[in-house]
Amino acid sequence: VFEHVAQPFQAASSLLHLLRPSGHLLWTAPFAEIFHAIPGDFLRYTCPGAINIFKSAGFEVTRVQKIGDTMVTSGWLMGFGASDFPPSRMRHILNNHTDDRELDADLQHSLYIGCALVLRRPAA
């Protein structure tokens, strides 16, 4: 739902304070997604942009994963669903861990549906 949040830096800070020390948060948001205005559709998130927001709030980023690749994202934007792609491709995409140092190194995967982060509030 973060694409519907007008002030993401403030929201990230609020989430940090809701977690207990060493608590974890699974966060996902779209990057390539069709506009859906209700109740307000403000932002899209690259993985590096999302990392910046949450690190600025004080979170540790423990895992980063792009959701989708160029082929699946193009199909998604044209109305295809998961069952329109080979199951082996979908398994590979869902099980792929993206190292944050490699996020934008592979141009073949520069188009993706969204970003998933596992975040941790530092211990007290």
Q: What pLDDT, on the 0 to 100 scale, is given for residue 117?
A: 95
CA–CA separation, 44 and 117 (whole Å): 14
List Cβ neighbours of 58 (8 Å cut-off, separation of 6 or more).
13, 16, 121, 122
Q: What angle do CA 61, 70, 85 make, to 5 degrees?
A: 105
- Supply the pTM of this predicted model: 0.82
Question: pLDDT tens-digit profile of 23-60?
Answer: 999 999 988 887 887 788 899 999 999 999 999 999 99
